[in-house]
Amino acid sequence: MPSVSVLIPSYNHLRFLPACLESVWGQTFSDYEIVVVDDGSADGSVEYLRACGDRIRLSEQENQGTYATLNRCAREAKGDYLAILNSDDLWMPNKLAAQVAILNSKPEVGLVHTGGIFVDSEGRETKENPFGFAWPSTESGRVLEAMILHNHVVASSVLLRRDAFEREGGFDERLYGSGDWDMWLRVSKHWEFAYVAERLTGYRIHEEMASAKKQPVVLDEILIRTERIHACEDELLRLAADQTRMMRALAHSWACLGTEYAQLGRTADARRAYFESVKRNPLRLKSWVRMVIGL
């Protein structure tokens, strides 16, 4: 049985698949399998993947979306550790070796992610990025409060214990583009995270990126904040190492929710969210301003 299952959800990325797979085949760590599920590609991806033969384990399905595809990858995987690699991204050669060493030596760690670079459609490093800020990272350790603020983990940089994944029941298939944040948030309630600062993952920026579609992502974030965070505040406060820090994180999350409602024109919901924000942190001036003066 392989130690690591590399999960690749494939959808219409024929021009990027060779570099993606070559970056796995070039790993210094060799005890892995590659599990690819093609999600109804129509660009020749399936024919290319079939030609890879037994270097990968390929399944095909009609289009179901990213998180249904990742869940199927995980069901078919055999490894104790699950590595996610989107079919337009790539890895540096030492990526798996660095992460496996941490999971093997630290049973309290459920997820390891890495630093990385942004690359363009030709694979060249670029200073542009889809986040509006530098490559996201977290300190190693308990990161629940940080994960409540926003997603600090790039999916293709992750190596995750199967036990942690299965405890959470897989990815939420209702979500369009934020199911990874939802998963990391749930995992962070029970496990420590580890961060390898070395730039070991390449995140590709191109015109077809799902994260460029704004409204579905806003709806995702509203669902996550309402169901995973604010419906569970009592639990989150019990789990918090520092309740003051947790209350600040919850206040921030309510403010984010207010902004997301405002983007959809839901003014009454937005004002209510800002009110909940200042209840949890009366010193949060921005929430007061948006609640009292305007959105």
Q: What pLDDT, on the 0 to 100 scale, is given for residue 208?
A: 62
Superfamily for domain range 4-208:
Spore Coat Polysaccharide Biosynthesis Protein SpsA; Chain A (3.90.550.10)
User: Which part of the chain has CATH 1.25.40?
Assistant: 215-292
State the fold for domain 215-292. Answer: 1.25.40
Q: What interhelical angle do 267-280 and 285-292 show, nearest 10? A: 150
User: Which part of the chain has CATH 3.90.550.10?
Assistant: 4-208
- pLDDT by residue for the chain (295 residues), tens digit each? 899 999 999 999 999 999 999 999 999 999 999 999 999 999 999 999 999 999 999 999 999 999 999 999 999 999 999 999 999 999 999 999 999 999 999 999 999 999 999 998 888 898 777 667 788 888 899 999 999 999 989 999 999 999 999 999 999 999 999 999 999 999 999 999 999 999 999 999 876 655 455 788 899 999 999 999 999 999 999 999 899 999 999 999 999 999 999 999 999 999 999 999 989 988 776 765 676 665 5
